[in-house]
A and B are shown apart, each in its own frame.
Chain A
Amino acid sequence: MDYILETKNLIKHYKNGKALNGLTMHVEKGAIYGFVGRNGAGKTTLIRLICGLQEPTEGTFTLYGCPNKSKEITKARRRMGAVVETPSIYLSMTAEENLKQQYQILGLPSYDGLKDLLELVRLGNTGKKKAKDFSLGMRQRLGIAVALAGDPDFLILDEPANGLDPQGIVEIRELILRLNRERQITVLISSHILDELSRLATHYGFIDNGRMVKEISAPELEASCRKCLRLTVSDARPLTTALDKMGLEYSVRSDTEVDVYEAPSVTELTLALHSAGCEVKNIHEHDESLESYYMNLVGGGSDD
């Protein structure tokens, strides 16, 4: 597997405790990786470590295969762009001036592509308007444009939808999808707005208390979250035989539990099971959203 980012047992201590507690994660090339966790779970801390704003207390990570302790990591970072927490822009400058600053920081020989970049984030018509007079959504998009200035192939966005109105959220979502599809940019998005993330992500990483609880691809998650009828029986074998005869799609969860994905005739099924000597203990409809999947995974405790 071709990974852009891999972390191994990352630990970060602050004075008031551990923010990361042995975090291991894998971001595949070309993915939109949704990094999910409650406030204080360690999402921003991980992003700070990757961006070089902080050093891990223990553990390692590789960026484009380059270890974080290596001197080459600075070169690897030139291939990424990031918006950490708030957009990093000079408020007293216009959108164009902000981009020119970033072009100079990157040492780009000309301002070619600057206008296109502004058009890409739909800020091409802001003229002499200073960033301090921009709406939150415009600032967020300008922050993304600054992060895209070096033509990166890995983009890190920390809570990009925070504080945005519904239209702003849609605009950011469309932009991310376009960047991923048209420019093949791998995106790592941290968020706790799960509904929004579910419209974007191709992979998910669920973090809690500084640890990765689960990494899962979107199809795998979809399969786990698919609407089904969950049957608990005394023995799953007669049930699968009956389901096969009825031509229904199902998956066996355990020796006593089966998920049926199409609506069966419950009467027909229970009669068939009764004649096979199989007791039906429980039947309930199972419809799990990303939200309930996450809640099941990390539990519903408080943020503290």
Chain B
Amino acid sequence: MTNLLRANFSRLKRDGMFWSCVLTVLACSIGFMVLWCLENAERGALTDLDEFYFRLSAAMGFFYAMFTCLFLSVEYGEGTIRNKLTVGHTRREVYLANFITVFAASLCMAAAWLVGGLAGVPFLGFLTIGPVGTALCFVIIVGFTAAFSAIYTFIGMLNDRRSATVITVAVWLILVLVSSIFENTLHEPEEITQMLVSVDGGAPAAVTEPNPYYISGIQRTIYEFVVDFLPTGQSSSLQNINIGHPVRMLLSSLGITAAFTLGGLRLFERKDLK
């Protein structure tokens, strides 16, 4: 597998799509950070770097998806996957080498995002969450990046049609949708205040009553679990450094990565290639 990895990384170095993705992420990260800082400085509402630094995390799944499916589709589109199998590499080696390459490339994109975010330091100073908090955030980023890579590699390696790109982006959108539905429900306040105006011209009165959309008990625990479980939920939580259950998040990422990689390996070994 070392040979395959060496070949993949050598290809990655020359891959225009990879560098385009890295530079786009870097440009977005710097651009948005400066924009947010300038906007908030104008309103006199500048707080600290924590508020903005991880804001781009929700979009990272999209960049990973675009890169992964385009990188892997070349193997099928140009038939080069055959060169690896014909000379005796096993399917297991080919799949794992591609997963590791995709994961490493995605980490490079994540690094570009985090480096770009440092453009906010001159305006806001460094993160206030401390080295442990920062390290935890970084570990969670590595975790959900691995989970995204495993899911996208699964799709890219098992789908040899051009539609793989569409499917990968669609999967990301569905995951975003699902996690945002659960997250929005979790953000519902426990009570809502309504203003009542009487018809006889009396003064309006504020009435506080329980929010029917607020969930509690086992249902809330399940919703929290789903948000912590999905990589899109994790990246969304990270936007506001809202990391309630870091261990659960990491174990979820590990579980997703293992499940999709093992499942992908099993199915890829049986797949008829052309």
**A residues bordering B, Cβ < 8 Å?**
14, 48, 51-55, 73-78, 80-82, 84-93, 97, 100-102, 104-107, 146-147, 150
> Which residues 217-274 in B have Cβ within 8 Å of A in the complex?
270, 272-274
Q: Give the shortest distance, in Å, between B89 (CB) and chain A (any CB).
A: 7
Docked Cα-Cα span, A106 to B2, in Å, equals: 10
**Contact: A51 with B2, CB < 8 Å?**
no
**Contact: A104 with B83, CB < 8 Å?**
no
Partner of A97, one of B14, B88, B272: B14
**Contact: B3 with A53, CB < 8 Å?**
no
Q: Does B162 reach chain A (CB closer than 8 Å)?
A: no
**Contact: B83 with A53, CB < 8 Å?**
no
The contact sample of 13 A-B pairs, CB cut-off 8 A, is A48-B274, A52-B85, A74-B90, A77-B87, A78-B88, A80-B86, A84-B82, A89-B79, A101-B80, A105-B3, A105-B87, A105-B89, A150-B87
**Contact: A86 with B79, CB < 8 Å?**
yes
**Contact: A90 with B11, CB < 8 Å?**
yes
Residue of B nearest to A87 (CB): B79
**Contact: A74 with B10, CB < 8 Å?**
no
Q: Does B74 reach chain A (CB closer than 8 Å)?
A: yes
Residue of A nearest to B269 (CB): A55
Q: Give the shortest distance, in Å, between B16 (CB) and chain A (any CB).
A: 7
User: What are the 3 tightest A-B residue pairs by CB atom distance, in nearest-first order?
Assistant: A107-B3, A77-B88, A104-B7
Also in contact, A74 and B7, with CB within 8 A (given A88-B79, A88-B80): no
Also in contact, A53 and B273, with CB within 8 A (given A97-B14, A104-B7): yes
Also in contact, A85 and B79, with CB within 8 A (given A52-B86, A76-B88): yes
**B residues bordering A, Cβ < 8 Å?**
2-4, 6-7, 10-11, 14-16, 74, 78-90, 270, 272-274
Docked Cα-Cα span, A52 to B85, in Å, equals: 6
**Contact: A107 with B80, CB < 8 Å?**
no
- Most chain-B Cβ atoms within 10 A of its Cβ — which of A75, A87, A90? A90
Q: Which residues of A contact B81 (CB under 8 A)?
A: 88
Q: Which residues of B contact A146 (CB under 8 A)?
A: 83
Also in contact, A89 and B78, with CB within 8 A (given A53-B85, A76-B88, A102-B83): yes
Q: Which residues of B contact A105 (CB under 8 A)?
A: 3-4, 7, 83-84, 87, 89
Docked Cα-Cα span, A48 to B89, in Å, equals: 15
**Contact: B11 with A82, CB < 8 Å?**
no
**Contact: B3 with A90, CB < 8 Å?**
no
Also in contact, A104 and B274, with CB within 8 A (given A51-B86, A88-B80): no
Q: Give the shortest distance, in Å, between B19 (CB) and chain A (any CB).
A: 12
Q: Give the shortest distance, in Å, between A62 (CB) and chain B (any CB).
A: 15
Q: Which residues of A contact B85 (CB under 8 A)?
A: 51-53, 77
**Contact: B16 with A92, CB < 8 Å?**
yes
Known: A53-B85, A53-B86. 10 other contacts (CB 8 A): A52-B86, A75-B88, A76-B88, A77-B85, A81-B86, A82-B82, A92-B15, A104-B6, A106-B3, A107-B2
**Contact: A77 with B78, CB < 8 Å?**
no
**Contact: A84 with B3, CB < 8 Å?**
no
Docked Cα-Cα span, A84 to B87, in Å, equals: 13
Residue of B nearest to A93 (CB): B14
Residue of B nearest to A103 (CB): B7
**Contact: A48 with B87, CB < 8 Å?**
no
Q: Which residues of B contact A147 (CB under 8 A)?
A: 86
Also in contact, A82 and B86, with CB within 8 A (given A90-B11, A105-B7): yes
Docked Cα-Cα span, A87 to B82, in Å, equals: 10
- Most chain-A Cβ atoms within 10 A of its Cβ — which of B6, B7, B74? B7
Q: Which residues of B contact A84 (CB under 8 A)?
A: 79, 82, 86
Residue of B nearest to A75 (CB): B88
Partner of B78, one of A51, A91, A100: A91
**Contact: B10 with A48, CB < 8 Å?**
no
**Contact: A85 with B274, CB < 8 Å?**
yes
Docked Cα-Cα span, A57 to B82, in Å, equals: 20
Residue of A nearest to B74 (CB): A90
Q: Which residues of B contact A87 (CB under 8 A)?
A: 79
Residue of B nearest to A14 (CB): B272
Docked Cα-Cα span, A146 to B79, in Å, equals: 12
- Most chain-B Cβ atoms within 10 A of its Cβ — which of A78, A81, A101? A101
Q: Which residues of A contact B89 (CB under 8 A)?
A: 74, 105
Q: Which residues of A contact B74 (CB under 8 A)?
A: 90
Partner of B86, one of A75, A77, A90: A77
Q: Which residues of B contact A77 (CB under 8 A)?
A: 85-88
Docked Cα-Cα span, A86 to B80, in Å, equals: 10
Residue of B nearest to A98 (CB): B80
Q: Which residues of B contact A150 (CB under 8 A)?
A: 87
**Contact: A88 with B88, CB < 8 Å?**
no
